[in-house]
Amino acid sequence: MADVDSRAGHGYATKEIFAYVNGVHAPHHEGLRFAFEAPERFGLPAIQVGPSEGKLLTLLVRLGGVKRAVEIGTLAGYSAIRIAEALPPDGHLLSLEYEPKHAEVARQSLTNAGMGGRVTVLEGAAIDTLPTLVSRGPFDAVFLDADKKSYDLYGRWAAANLRSGGLLLADNVYLFGRLLDESEESAAMRRFHEEAARAFDSVCVPTPDGLLLGIRR
């Protein structure tokens, strides 16, 4: 039965349905298009969030009245633009990126989208950069989208540095379908889920690879 299947995780979306709803609800203006196409154009991995997940970030940031945000994993700046667009003029996003080449492309995307003044791309491994941000918090939102093996660490940092009512967002929390495997990476992602559920009022939004949403208790 269709409803039983969908409640158990079966999806109805086809590529064609995705393209249609993305075009209707999450279209790309010129700045978003440049950033979305930048990975392929500049030889970066094309692992940015999809248009609908990006637009979901925009709406959640807007709903949450987010002013100060942190993103871990900038890539070419697509999700950063999606987040920054919902910030007030005096809001700011700090986006952390390990690869200098990615950071350089992202700065170009952000400037091109008119978001250069609202986003700072910080180069380095997040594990080293995050401690330097503590004094700039507490934050209103943290978005995780970098190395999956460290989500448990990043989740702890977010719990410690978000205000009460602040938003935790995390992409790829089904771990490409490997969430229940026996690997260390899978165990770390499960720790992330379980610790997040304690510190946050949380849900795993069933996007193609799972998007965790939590409100800090």
Is 205 a binding residue for ligand DHB by CB under 6 A? The answer is no
Binder of ligand DHB out of 58, 95, 150, 172 (CB under 6 A): 172
Q: Shortest distance, CB of residue 46 to ligand DHB, whole angstroms?
A: 9
Residue showing the smallest CB distance to ligand DHB in the complex: 47
Q: Shortest distance, CB of residue 75 to ligand SAH, whole angstroms?
A: 4
Is 161 a binding residue for Mg ion by CB under 5 A? The answer is no
Is 71 a binding residue for ligand DHB by CB under 6 A? The answer is no
What mask of x and - would describe binding to Mg ion in positions 170 to 209, judged by CB under 5 A? -xx-------------------------------------
Q: What is d(CA 157, CA 160) in angstroms, rounded to the nearest whole number?
A: 5
Q: What 3-state class would DSSP assign to 155?
A: helix
- Contact call for residues 171 and 154 (beta carbons, < 8 A): no
DSSP assignment, residue 180?
T
Q: Report the partner that residue 32 touches, choosing among ligand DHB, ligand SAH, Mg ion, none (CB closer than 5 to 8 A by kind).
A: none
Q: Report the partner that residue 79 touches, choosing among ligand SAH, ligand DHB, Mg ion, none (CB closer than 5 to 8 A by kind).
A: ligand SAH
Residue 123's contacts (CB-CB under 8 Å, 6 or more residues apart) are 97, 98, 100, 103
Q: What is d(CA 143, CA 125) in angstroms, rounded to the nearest whole number?
A: 16
Q: Shortest distance, CB of residue 180 to ligand SAH, whole angstroms?
A: 23
Binder of ligand DHB out of 13, 17, 19, 47 (CB under 6 A): 47
Is 171 a binding residue for ligand DHB by CB under 6 A? The answer is yes
Identity at 90, one-letter amino acid code: D
Binder of ligand DHB out of 71, 85, 140, 145 (CB under 6 A): 145
In the sheet that holds 211-216, the strands lie side by side as: 119-123, 92-97, 68-72, 139-144, 162-171, 211-216, 200-205
**H-type helices in the chain, by residue range?**
2-7, 15-25, 30-41, 51-63, 78-84, 100-112, 126-133, 151-161, 184-199
Q: Shortest distance, CB of residue 29 to Mg ion, whole angstroms?
A: 22
**Interface residues toward ligand DHB, by CB under 6 A:** 47, 145, 171-172
